[in-house]
């Protein structure tokens, strides 16, 4: 139970410095085929971008822009990491 609680509380710390808290959250969830340019611009200026991206990758966030990446980009990053891990142990 403690592990779950710790996991849930982890993002709170870095999210206090999240740049997206200052803008309309809708821009981080563009419609299919819509532009993510505005969200990516905000992420590009965010000091917790890497923590955000790691959180999204570790929690398999499927929707929205996290750490300046789209769902598709995060899927690709997760695949690359998995392949790297497999190569490292073989």
Give the binding site for ligand SF4 (CB under 6 A). Answer: 18-20, 28, 42-43, 46, 48-49, 52, 65-68
Residues 6+ apart with CB under 8 A from 10: 55
Residue with Cβ nearer ligand SF4 (4 or 12): 12
Structure-token pair, residue 34: 């819509």
Angle, helix 49-58 to helix 2-15, in steps of 10 degrees = 150
Residue with Cβ nearer ligand SF4 (58 or 85): 58
Residue with Cβ nearer ligand SF4 (24 or 83): 24
């Amino acid at each position: 139970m403690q592990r779950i609680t710790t996991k849930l509380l982890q993002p709170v710390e870095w999210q206090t410095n999240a740049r997206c808290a200052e803008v309309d959250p809708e821009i981080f969830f563009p419609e299919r085929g819509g532009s993510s340019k505005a969200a990516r611009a905000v992420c590009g200026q965010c000091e917790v971008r890497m923590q955000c991206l790691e959180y999204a990758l570790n929690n398999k966030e499927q929707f929205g822009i996290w750490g300046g990446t789209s769902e598709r980009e995060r899927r690709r990053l997760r695949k690359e990491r998995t392949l790297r891990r497999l190569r490292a142990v073989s």
